[in-house]
Amino acid sequence: MTKEQWHKTLLAPWFRKTDSLMPAYPYGKNVHFPEANYGLYGGATLATGHRISRGRNKGKTLRKWFPNIRVETVRSKALGRDLTLPVRARVMRTIRKVGGLDQYVLGNRPARIKELGLLGWKLRWLVLTSPKMKQAYAAERRKLGLPDNYSAIERFEHAWNDPERRQQMIDEQDAAWAKIKAKMERYDAHVEAQWTTSDAQHLALEEPYTSDRAKRPFSLLDTKPSHLALPDIVEEIPYDRFAKLPQLVRDGDATPESLAAEQRARQADEERQIVQQWA
């Protein structure tokens, strides 16, 4: 790919910026064939072997077979853009077969997810979160009779203010508390059965062991989570601006200006490395 082709899609600001809510690619990056991380290679990699000559010059010749990669311009209807990407010829046939780039990256089969790669996974997230796809999903929810305010990313305040969801969370906490309580009782029974007065001299415990469970510093409280005074309604706090700040800015260890300067320098280094690699 030329430098202009890189800047057209892969180095574009809208494509380089990664949403913090995007889940990590389950198969990770391709460390054996790094070029596949910057295109739709369909899981292809280098193939090594020998060419065997049976003529006058008999012998084996070591060689490599590279995948058939072409720079294609593919239209994404959901994004409303023409994307210039390195695409394997076999992947391009699959894209035409399924009906477009959007249908290809939205495939749900495990084999499709595995062959997407890092770039295909990012395109999948961009297509899923595009306004056009959100409208299509909203129309499908209305057709199926689902609530309109459904969101895959639910806030705690919305779940807690629902009485059924709140009771479900409290029941789950009580069940987890009961398991920890049972483990603590088994531990106490074991310690009481194995404890002797001479153990305190060898263990040098900060707190002496006592048979009274209420006086033990490491004992579990007898109060269940459902017995606590919990609020019925939790106010929704607007933390959108605060959540977008990096952790260093929240802790006061850096400023937004210093982080922006570091990010610009890092992006410039990455662009130089990419251009040198594909020059």
DSSP 209-271: --S-GGG-TTPPPS--GGGS---S--PPP--HHHHHS-HHHHHTS--HHHHHHHHHHHHHHHH
Task: Say if domain 3-143 classifies as CATH 2.40.10.10.
Answer: no
d(CA 24, CA 77): 24
Residues of the chain with pLDDT > 90: what percent? 22
Whether 152 shows a pLDDT value over 90: the answer reads no
Burial (0-12, 13-18, 19+ Cβ within 10 Å), 275 = middle
What average pLDDT does this structure show over 108-122? 92
Q: What pLDDT shows up at residue 98?
A: 93
Q: What pLDDT shows up at residue 193?
A: 76
d(CA 130, CA 127): 5
What average pLDDT does this structure show over 116-138? 91
Could you tell me the pLDDT band of residue 1, with boundaries at 50, 70 and 90? low
Among 77-86, 108-117, 160-169, 236-245, the minimum mean pLDDT is found in 236-245
Q: Hey, what amino acid is at 197?
A: T
Q: Are 40 and 117 in contact (CB under 8 A)?
A: yes
Q: In this structure, is the dihedral angle defined by the CA atoms of residues 150, 155, 161 and 166, taken in order, positive or negative?
A: positive
Sequence-separated contacts (24+) of 213-217 with Cβ below 8 Å: 213/188
Q: What pLDDT shows up at residue 206?
A: 47
Could you tell me the pLDDT band of residue 155, with boundaries at 50, 70 and 90? confident
Could you tell me the pLDDT band of residue 156, with boundaries at 50, 70 and 90? confident
HSE (side-chain half, CA atoms, 13 Å) at 75: 5
What average pLDDT does this structure show over 230-243? 61
Q: What's the whole-model pTM score?
A: 0.55
Please write the tens of the pLDDT for every residue from 17-71.
777 778 889 998 888 888 898 889 998 888 889 888 887 778 888 889 999 999 9
Q: How does DSSP classify residue 16?
A: H
Q: Which residue has the higher pLDDT, 134 or 217?
A: 134
Q: For the residues of 177-220, what is the DSSP string, one character each?
A: HHHHHHHHHHHHHHHHHH--TTHHHHH--SS---S-GGG-TTPP
What is the Cα gyration radius of the chain? 29
Other C-beta atoms within 10 Å of 67: how many? 20
Whether 257 shows a pLDDT value over 90: the answer reads no
Q: Which residue has the higher pLDDT, 162 or 278?
A: 162
Q: Which residue has the higher pLDDT, 61 or 239?
A: 61
Q: Are 94 and 115 in contact (CB under 8 A)?
A: no
Measure Cα distances from 27 to 24, 111, 117 in Å.
9, 11, 8
Whether 266 shows a pLDDT value over 90: the answer reads no
d(CA 55, CA 70): 34
